[in-house]
Amino acid sequence: MTPAIPQLLDLAGIAVFALTGALLAAQLRQTFVTMAFFALVTGVGGGSVRDLLIGAPVFWVRDPWVAPVCLGIALVAWFTPNRWWNKPVLEWADAAGLGAYAVLGTAKALAFGVPPVPAVLMGVITGCVGGIIRDVLAGRPSILMRPELYVTAGALASLICAGGAALGLANAVVWPVAALAGFGLRGAAIYWRLGLPVYSSEEG
């Protein structure tokens, strides 16, 4: 059984991710076609990869609302000034989406019989891969190539979700706690500019 979340909340999260893709295309001064493609890829990329890996129907192909929402977001971005979408607003909205979708991805993988550790990875993929695809297409370093705490925040949310499931705790308790933990860690990274230590090697 696939985990259910309110559709409006689901679409709101997708819209946030889609907006980050559309706005990146706007910053690069691309055409509307490119902007729409970036919005769609960023909005559904992580969930699509997850569904393919766990053998589930790709979620947005059979949903009549997801693609129109992504394309509608691209249209909004096309006709509004870039100054309306300042960086802090998008960063915090993206942090909320990251926490929620890491949990959703983990829960869906567990519902399809995926073992806990791979299910955690599916959660990370759900929350992060759309942004990675967006950055690669734009020719800029992806979130994987930056030390800031982003993927780590998604992993924390996924771990708590899988851990709660393993302990038999109620989803109604575990999912909000996991999503808030991911959001909290990402928020701390935004506010205090936290990052992971990078590899350094001193020669003999």
pLDDT one-digit tens code per residue, 164-197: 999 999 998 999 999 999 999 999 999 999 999 9
Residue listed under structure tokens 């001064």: 29
CA distance 50 to 158: 13
Asked if the model's pLDDT at residue 4 lies above 70, the reply is: no
Phi and psi at residue 148, in whole multiples of 5°? -60, 150
CA distance 28 to 35: 10
Residue listed under structure tokens 């926490």: 99
> How many CB atoms neighbour CB 197 within 10 A?
6
Contact 175, 145 (CB under 8 A): no
Angle CA 127–19–72, to nearest 5: 120
Q: Name the band, by pLDDT with cuts 50, 70 and 90, for residue 1.
A: very low
pLDDT one-digit tens code per residue, 73-89: 999 999 998 788 877 87
Average pLDDT score over residue span 105-118: 95
pLDDT one-digit tens code per residue, 148-169: 899 999 999 999 999 999 999 9
Asked if the model's pLDDT at residue 2 lies above 70, the reply is: no
Helices 32-54/87-111 angle, 10° precision: 30
Q: How many residues does the chain have?
A: 204
**List of residues 6+ apart from 76 with CB closer than 8 A:** 19, 22
Contact 41, 134 (CB under 8 A): yes
* pTM check: above 0.85: yes
